[in-house]
Structures are given as structure tokens and as C-alpha cells.
Amino acid sequence: MISTTIRLSRIFRSLESKGIVSSSSSNSRRIFNPPYNQNKRLFSDDQGDPKNQNLIPSALKIGKYEIFREDNAPVILDVNEERERFQSIAEEEFISSEFDGYNIQRGITGVFDIEELVDVLRKENGVDIFVASLPKQLQYADYVVVVGGKSLKHMLGMAEFVRKLFKVKRHPNDLIPRLEGEDSKDWLAIDLGNIILHIMSKKARLNYDLESLWSLGKDYDELANSGKLDPLEEILKKHAISLDDFQPLERN
């Protein structure tokens, strides 16, 4: 670096003697006499000398740079991982918006606890919710729920919403329930594991009076003893059990 400075000075004096540059010109002095600090070197191979250790630049001494470390490096995902991450975020946002106000955590006694399901049906404007508790010795389900719908569209809407919420709340080992009676205009049924849900039209509810059947038992139900049940009974046959010991909880 010193030899470079000497050479520039010699060139400057030669040009000055020929009248090409002037020592009074600040631009000329800037070009041919750069402000090198000859007392400090910017680089040194002599790292063994402790006196020269402060002359070696490092990333720690240069403010605009920093030492690269693996633990503070950004994680760069590949295309598929990045797509999956955005899809996961989008799904979470969709779930949080669609089921806002609903408990999306799995229940204790099943995917739905009975209180949760009743709350869902109320929010979905279910009509005259009826709940019957089943005796444990049946080893069938804990509760039977009957709810009325205002129309077929309303009935299907309630059933599909319950299934959607079930999918969000369930654990991987919980089977997704089927919707029974999709071809019927009056009666839908869903087996939620610990709860059997029946969604019925007003007409079917009056005709079949499931509340009496499950509350009083088949020996006291007029329709069950009359032999007048029509093909809609096939839905119930899928869940056929003794009803004599059923105990009603409440009617809303």
C-alpha cells in the first residue's frame, strides 16, 4: 500500500511539472493522494503477533455484517412444504370463521358431550329438542336426541353442520358418522357414537311419537303396539334395542 502511494505521488509530481495538474486543486489531490492510513494495515497475514490481532477485520467489528450461525439462519422450505404451510393456515382460518362461537375441541364422553350437541342444535334453530338417557347395561349409546326441523332444507342443514363439526372435533380414531335417511323427506338419523341423533319433520314426529317410545317403553307406546309402522321404521331398525328401561332427561 505504501509503494502504491509513492507511485501515485511520483505520477502527480510529473504531471504537475508539465502543467497538467495543480497542487492547489482539491480534485487532483483527492485522486493522486488518497487518505490511506499508513499507520494501520487493513489486512495482515501475521496473525501470530498479538500486537497485530486488532488489525484483522472481523464480522463482529463491521457493523453492516454479522457472523453466520446455523441457529439464527432463516428456515427456507421447499415448494411443497411452503404450499402445505399456507394450506394449513388457510384451513385454520376457515375453521375459525365457520365455527366461530362453537367448541371445536373433542368432548369428554365422546366427540360431542350431550350438552354441546344440545347447544349446537339450539344455535341451529332446532325445534323441541328431546333428550333421553339410555341405561349403561345396554352398551349401545349414552343418549338419544330427537329434534324437529322447519323444512327439509333446515333438517339437511342441521345434519350436515353436525357432521362437519364432528369432523373438526374428532380424534383420528373417531369414525366419521353416516347420514341415514337421506332419501326421506321426514326423518334423518346420525350415529355419533355416544349419542343417536334423530332429526324429524313435524309430521313424522307426530306420527311416530319417539318421545313416548323412548320415555315409556314399547309396552306403553300405542303406535308400537298397533303394528302400523311404515317403511320409515327401517331407520330405527338400524338401532333396534330394548326400550323398556329408557329414562327421559327433559324436553325443551
Residue positions counted in the chain: 252
Do residue 159 and residue 37 come from a single domain?
no
Domain assignment of residue 86, yes or no: no
Task: Return d(Cα 137, Cα 245) in angstroms, integer.
Answer: 10
Do residue 34 and residue 118 come from a single domain?
no
Task: Return d(Cα 122, Cα 172) in angstroms, integer.
Answer: 27
Domain assignment of residue 72, yes or no: no
User: Coil, strand, or helix at residue 128?
Assistant: strand
Do residue 139 and residue 17 come from a single domain?
no
Residue where the block lists cell 346420525 = 190
Q: Is residue 248 within a helix (H) or strand (E), and if so which, with residue range?
A: strand 247-251
Of 55, 71, 88, the last residue of a domain is 55
Do residue 119 and residue 239 come from a single domain?
yes
Of 55, 80, 95, the last residue of a domain is 55
Task: Return d(Cα 71, Cα 80) in angstroms, integer.
Answer: 23
Do residue 18 and residue 124 come from a single domain?
no
Domain assignment of residue 80, yes or no: no
Do residue 40 and residue 134 come from a single domain?
no
Do residue 118 and residue 39 come from a single domain?
no
Residue-level pLDDT, tens digit, the chain, 252 residues: 555 556 556 666 666 666 655 566 555 555 555 554 444 444 444 555 555 555 444 444 455 556 656 566 666 656 666 566 656 555 555 555 677 778 888 999 999 999 999 999 999 999 999 998 888 877 778 898 999 999 999 999 999 999 999 999 999 899 988 888 878 889 999 999 999 999 999 998 888 887 777 666 555 455 445 555 444 444 444 444 433 444 444 444
Give how far the C-alpha of residue 159 lies from the chain's centroid of Cα atoms, to the nearest Å. 23
* Residues 6+ away with beta carbon under 8 Å from 226: none
Do residue 47 and residue 123 come from a single domain?
no
Domain assignment of residue 176, yes or no: yes
Of 55, 72, 89, the last residue of a domain is 55
Q: What is the CA radius of gyration of the chain?
A: 41
Alpha helices by DSSP H, listed for the chain, are 2-17, 26-32, 79-98, 114-123, 152-169, 202-208, 210-216, 222-226, 233-237
Q: CB of 195 within 8 A of CB of 220?
A: no
Domain assignment of residue 25, yes or no: yes
- pTM exceeds cut of 0.75: no
Task: Return d(Cα 180, Cα 190) in angstroms, integer.
Answer: 6
Residue where the block lists cell 311404515 = 230
Which strands make up the sheet holding 143-148, listed edge to edge? 179-180, 187-191, 195-200, 143-148, 127-133, 247-251
In sequence order, what E strands does 119-228 have? 127-133, 143-148, 179-180, 187-191, 195-200
Domain count, the chain: 2
How many C-beta atoms surround the C-beta of residue 89 within 10 A? 10
CATH code: domain of residue 245: 3.30.460.10
Do residue 120 and residue 240 come from a single domain?
yes
Domain assignment of residue 62, yes or no: no
Domain assignment of residue 232, yes or no: yes
Domain assignment of residue 61, yes or no: no
What domain range includes position 7? 2-55
Q: CB of 210 within 8 A of CB of 128?
A: no
